[in-house]
Every structure is written in structure tokens, then in C-alpha cells.
Amino acid sequence: MSISTRKASIKELAEIVGATVHGDTDVIISGIATLELAKQSELSFFTNRKYHKFLLTTQASIVILHPDDVDSCPTNAILSDDPYLAYAKIATWLTKDEQNKIQIASSAIIAANVTIGKNTNIEAHVVIGEGTKIGNNVRLSAGCVIGDNVNIANGTIIYPNASIYSNVMIGENTIIHSGAVIGSDGFGIANDKGQWFKVPQLGTVIIGDNVEVGANTTIDRGAIEDTVIENGVKLDNLIQIAHNVRIGENTAIAGCVGIAGSSTIGKHCAIGGGSGILGHLTIADHVHITATSLVTKSINESGVYSSGTPLQENAQWHKNFIRFKQLDKMARRLTALEKKS
């Protein structure tokens, strides 16, 4: 499968990312495809050695790759020290929709005192509550529900059926995908003689600029203080962020991560899919937590951290698990033997 794009020359594309051209500077492309499936007039990229065999035989007119790999490329190339980043920027430029579909659907329900900026697109069945402010060049896709006194800054896109509760603040050029819920109540309950009594959640959610929130991700409002997602944070699908959590700038979190209340995650962190972070913890800047790890205490220094047992054949895993339960007895025997020797 290939993706149709606007037409562009290799020279134009290289200038976007400040890269070098190898080959015919006038060659034109009008689509994007993988190395294996690309045809003439299409662009591809090479970053993973597993696909080297496809590079050798690709029919693409242009391949984005590292200068070290140019000798293996049978076609024109854009040479970049970071080919994947170069591809991301070029593909964004090639596929950007320049048509301004400025419209407010007749089925949208908008409170009387809502402020709407220029070049705004509000699609079918969107609901916008009282006192909400929407900036310029915002897109609210079909079925979104925007509560009272929400502030959505310029250039933000909210995809279908996302729900933004009252008083939430969303920064510029942020993307919120379908099914996301921003500002729902945090899990605050107090025990009253065996029955649970709901604790009011009085804070809100503040999302910075250039943030991306994945499909069906949920971000709870703060109990008293706010839940804060700082600039440049990237959140995958199906993430749960509890009340009063703070996530630092440019941190990326993969799918199915759960972060309990009042934890603070630093800047430039990476958290692997399926990980869990207990409440009231602090994670330093530049921490990488690998997939399915459980964080039970604060991490005060940058670095890579892991927990959990990687996949094994079942019989071997069962033997190892039995031995794991015997570790304490084995340690006691070893200590006794050492005392005798």
C-alpha cells in the first residue's frame, strides 16, 4: 500500500530537513510507501537493518537514509544523520492538508457565551459548554463533548468522541485522539464504617503545548491541586493518569501504563508499555523504564530501570518460579555453610 501526497522534488524535501541529496536533484515524488512495496515516484526510508534486503531491491524514486548506507541504495537518496526523524518531518510536510475547511456544523450545540477563534472547524454533533474559549485554527471532530469553562488554545485538534470535562486547559498544537477522557474525577474515596464516601475532586487538568494524548487514554482531574501534563509530552493509547500526577516536558509513555495519584514524573523520560507506577512517587529526569515494569519506590537518578520476568517456555518458567520461592531457604543454608567454613 502506498500513500498519495502532494508532488515535490528531492531538492525541496532535502531542504525541509537540511539534508544532502545523492542522485538526481530534479526527481519528483507523489507518494510514500515501504521499501518493499514502493514504486517509481514514491518515497521511502531505511533505518532498520532487518530491512536491508528490501533496500537493495527497492523501486522507490527516493530513499531517506544515513550516509553510511548510501552505497547499498540503488536509487536517489536523501542523506541524514537521523533518517527516521527526517522522514517524520518530510512525511508531515507532504501530507499536510492545506485546505481550510472553516465550518460549524448545524448539528453542533454551542452555548451562547462561547468564544470561537478564526479558522475553526466544529464538526457534527459537537457539544460545547458555557464560558469555553476556543482559539484559532482549532478542529473539534464529530461527537466531541467540551465542558464549561474549558480553554483550548490555537492549533489544537480533538478527534471524534473525545470528552473534555469542565475547567480543563489545553495548550497550543495539541492532539487528543478519539475516546480520550480529560478531567474525569480522580479515584478519591474515604471509608466510612465499611462503606465508601466519595471525596470531591476540586482541581482540574492542565495540558501544555505540543502534547499528544492517545485514543482511550484517561487523565483525571486533581483532588485539590491540578493534574499537569507539561509541554511536548506524548501519551500512547489506553493510559491511565490519576489525580494530581505531574508529567515533565518531552516525556513519552507507551500504551497501557497506569500511573497512580500524586506521582511526579520528570522531563525527557520514557516509560515502556504495560508499566505501573505507584502513587506519591517521584521519578527523576531522563529515566527510562522498560516495558511491564512495576515502580514501587521513587527513582532519584537518571538511567534505565527494569523489573518483571521476560517470556520463557512455560516448563522452564515453572521450574524457575519454583526455585524463586525457595530462594530464602537457599540463602539461609548458604549463610549457615559459610559460618561453618
Q: CA nearest 218: which of 252, 241, 251?
A: 241
Q: How far is CA 184 from CA 69, 201, 256, in A?
A: 49, 9, 18
The gap between the terminal CA atoms of the chain, to the nearest Å, is: 70
pLDDT for the residue 108: 97
- Retrieve residue 25's grid coordinates: 536533484
pLDDT for the residue 102: 64
Total H helices, total E strands in the chain = 5, 38
Model pTM score: 0.89
Distance CA 20, CA 11 (A): 9
Q: For residues 136-173, b (16+ Cβ closer than 10 Å) or e, as one string?
A: ebbbbbbbbbbbeebbbbbbbbbbbbbbbbbbbbbbbe
Per-residue pLDDT of the chain (341 residues; tens, 9 = 90+): 779 999 999 999 999 999 999 999 999 999 999 999 999 999 999 999 999 999 999 999 999 999 999 999 999 999 999 999 999 999 999 998 755 556 899 999 999 899 999 999 999 999 999 999 999 999 999 999 999 999 999 999 999 999 999 999 999 999 999 999 999 999 999 999 999 999 999 999 999 999 999 999 999 999 999 999 999 999 999 999 999 999 999 999 999 999 999 999 999 999 999 999 999 999 999 999 999 999 999 999 999 999 988 889 999 989 998 998 899 999 999 898 888 87
What proportions of the chain, in percent to the nearest 5, are helix, strand and coil? 20, 30, 50
The answer to whether 38 touches 58, Cβ cutoff 8 Å, is yes
For the purposes of burial, counting CB atoms within 10 Å of the CB of 49, is it exposed (0-12), middle (13-18) or buried (19 or more)?
A: exposed
The answer to whether 246 touches 220, Cβ cutoff 8 Å, is no
- Retrieve residue 179's grid coordinates: 475516546
Distance CA 151, CA 233 (A): 19
DSSP state of 51: G
Give the count of beta carbons closer than 10 Å to the beta carbon of residue 97.
Answer: 7
pLDDT digits (tens, 9 = 90+) for 21-78: 999 999 999 999 999 999 999 999 999 999 999 999 999 999 999 999 999 999 999 9
Give the count of beta carbons closer than 10 Å to the beta carbon of residue 101.
Answer: 9
For the purposes of burial, counting CB atoms within 10 Å of the CB of 115, is it exposed (0-12), middle (13-18) or buried (19 or more)?
A: exposed
Distance CA 223, CA 263 (A): 13
Give the count of beta carbons closer than 10 Å to the beta carbon of residue 194.
Answer: 5
- Retrieve residue 296's grid coordinates: 514501587
pLDDT for the residue 309: 81
Catalytic residue among 22, 177, 243, 280: 243
Mean pLDDT score across all residues of the chain: 95
By residue count, the chain amounts to 341
For residue 243, indicate whether it is catalytic.
yes
At 196, which amino acid appears? W
- CA 226 to the chain's CA centroid: 21
